[in-house]
Amino acid sequence: MQSLLFEFVFLVLLILALVMLAQKLRLAYPIVLVLGGLALSFTGAFTNLEINPEVVFLIFLPPLLYEAAWQVSWKEFWKWRRVIASFAFPIVILTACIVALVSHWLIPGFTLALGFLLGGIVSPPDAISATTIMRQVKVPKVLLSVIEGESLLNDASSLIVFRFALAAVLTGQFAFSEAAGSFFLVIVLGTLIGLGVGLVFYAIHRWLPTTPSIDTVLSLVTPYCMYYAAEHFHYSGVLAVVSGGLLLSSQRNTMLTYRSRIEGVNVWTVLSFVFNGFIFLLIGLQLPTITQQLGDTSLGTAIGYGLLISLALIVTRLLCAMGASVFTRVASRFITVADANPGWKQPLVTGWAGMRGVVSLASALAIPLLTPSGQPFPFRNLILFITFVVILVTLVLQGLTLPWLIRKLRLEDRFATIPEERQELLIQKKLAQQALRSLEEKYPQDGPPNDFLHNLRARLQLDSRFLTQALDVRDDALDDTLQQYQQFYLDVLDQQRVLLQQMNQREDFDEEVIRKYLAILDLEEYKLREKQLQPVGAE
């Protein structure tokens, strides 16, 4: 037990070191974690650590999906629903079919049922890597919205394909009409179960006397309840978590207090970071175990199979992305679409952002060792190795070249009518003006004297004038003006922290009160650094 704890602590420290290295190299941290785990696997360390598919599906996947559902914008999700749905369902199924045909043709003795099993495993892209890269390079918001929305749904479709293909291999029977009906039943009822469980937790948050700590713990329990409830009845646990998460996310301001929202965000940010770190590091550590299980197939032959299937996956996604663009242009003549002319640049980037991740590897590991007749499952070890090669190739090749491709294409956000920094200024100005109106209506200036309200009125008037002046600045001068203001404000906050630390040395000041005001200063700095225009030295 003690050695396991030390291994866990060492892995956490290793994850932190590799993430810091990724930031230094300006690379997406999932790529560095996988390569770091791969390098560590050659040392022979942590050979006892293996990815357990039950751990991934029952412990890691529900909270990561739930956190993603809370982060995604419902407005953007609905706006691009047709594109997201096409990538998450038809394109995933088409990709599985292409992989089935290629692997059946390429690998001697590999049946179509096994091909569909492999296709269901490697068809869903992992969005964590793609969005991590895209947030480091300026891209149109539509790309992030599509990739994030796709990630919420494609795991469900691929796991359903995997489930039916596995049943076909084990039983030797496959009825298309029955499978198609079951496919839609799994989707619809999984979604309904997620919404039902979500409504139960909404009622708990909304009407029971919860505290911020209770709200946070409930949010940690919620995705597991959604997932287990759906999987218990053999429906899609993934879609249950996604639908329930989107429902609760849309109601966060009515069912949670401000403290619950702040504390919950902090907990979930750390949890998802640690979970993702472990997952990508463990992927790299699996190489020795997977290689040893190849059996009669030579390592060179297996690598060749993996590279060719990786190529088929990359080409298929690129063609599907470009084909979706053409289909959208044709469909725009008959129905209203969000973008009638997507062009070729954004579909190309979307197609190239098809890195595979842990769900694929966990699915491969979930293949049983034996068939119902007691025979070894055919080609299980080769399927597992091909999956590993696909993950490694797509993560490294596409992940390292995606930033270059984005910069080379110089994508423009054709849907951004107002620059984001001006949107922030307009929102702040309108909020200040609304506060002034409310103050004047309830407490007019000729009313009873109140120094606190007088100071509040003066501050709001000053904020309103400042924001009006900032909006009047020309676009080419706005950056410098805001950066100068932000840098000065940050310097002031640093000086205030020094003063609070000096006051904390005195016996007549309670350290708990000092910490409270240090936290307030941290919130002020957070608001500044999260703006689109980062001040000099903010990194």
Least confident of 263-267, 310-314, 366-370: 366-370
Q: Fold for domain 2-409?
A: Na+/H+ antiporter like fold (1.20.1530)
Q: What is the mean pLDDT of the chain?
A: 82
Query: 77 near 150, Cβ under 8 Å?
Result: no
Arithmetic mean of pLDDT, 345-359: 85
Residue by residue, DSSP assigns 39-69 as: HHHTTTTTTT----HHHIIIIIHHHHHHHHH
For residues 32 and 449, the model is more confident at: 32
Burial class (CB in 10 A: 0-12, 13-18, 19+), 85: middle
Question: CA-to-CA distance for 329 and 343, rounded, in angstroms?
Answer: 9
Position 407 pLDDT exceeds 70: yes
Question: CA-to-CA distance for 146 and 309, rounded, in angstroms?
Answer: 25
Q: How many CB atoms lie within 10 A of CB 51?
A: 19
The pLDDT of residue 537: 36
The pLDDT of residue 156: 78
From 363, 390, 381, 379, select the one nearest 53 (Cα to Cα). Answer: 363
pLDDT digits (tens, 9 = 90+) for 178-216: 666 777 888 899 999 999 999 999 999 999 999 999 999
DSSP bridge pairs for 370: 376
Ramachandran assignment for 26, one of left (phi > 0), alpha (psi -120 to 50 degrees), beta (any other): left
Least confident of 106-115, 152-161, 528-537: 528-537
The pLDDT of residue 534: 42
Reduce the DSSP state of residue 370 to 3 states and report it: strand
From 236, 239, 244, 238, select the one nearest 218 (Cα to Cα). Answer: 244
Cα-based distances in Å from 332 to 32, 147, 320, 341, 417? 42, 22, 18, 8, 22
The pLDDT of residue 475: 58
From 338, 348, 324, select the one nearest 86 (Cα to Cα). Answer: 324
Position 492 pLDDT exceeds 90: no
- Residue entry with tokens 């079919």: 97
Cα within 13 Å of Cα(45), Cβ side: 17
Torsions phi, psi for 277 (to 5 deg) = -60, -45
Arithmetic mean of pLDDT, 474-482: 62
Position 143 pLDDT exceeds 70: yes
Arithmetic mean of pLDDT, 429-447: 78
Cα within 13 Å of Cα(105), Cβ side: 9
Query: 93 near 258, Cβ under 8 Å?
Result: no
Position 275 pLDDT exceeds 70: yes
Q: Strands, DSSP E only, in 51-162?
A: none
- Angle at alpha carbon of residue 275, lines to 54 and 74, rounded to 5°: 100
Arithmetic mean of pLDDT, 262-291: 86
Residue by residue, DSSP assigns 265-291 as: HHHHHHHHHHHHHHHHHHHHHTHHHHH
What interhelical angle do 299-331 and 81-88 show, nearest 10? 150
Position 467 pLDDT exceeds 80: no
Ramachandran assignment for 298, one of left (phi > 0), alpha (psi -120 to 50 degrees), beta (any other): beta
Position 506 pLDDT exceeds 90: no
Domains of the chain, by residue range, sit at: 2-409, 418-472, 483-539
Q: Which helix (H) or strand (E) holds 507?
A: none
Question: CA-to-CA distance for 350 and 361, rounded, in angstroms?
Answer: 22
pLDDT digits (tens, 9 = 90+) for 361-401: 888 888 888 777 788 888 888 998 999 899 989 988 988 88
Position 303 pLDDT exceeds 60: yes
Position 536 pLDDT exceeds 60: no
pLDDT digits (tens, 9 = 90+) for 447-466: 677 777 778 788 878 878 77
The pLDDT of residue 177: 62
The pLDDT of residue 176: 58
Query: 202 near 251, Cβ under 8 Å?
Result: yes
Position 532 pLDDT exceeds 50: no
- Angle at alpha carbon of residue 483, lines to 479 and 489, rounded to 5°: 150
- Residue entry with tokens 């785990």: 37
Position 531 pLDDT exceeds 70: no
Residue by residue, DSSP assigns 433-489 as: HHHHHHHHHHS-TTSS--HHHHHHHHHHHHHHHHHHHHHHS-HHHHHHHHHHHHHHH
Locate 268 and state its tokens: 């979930």
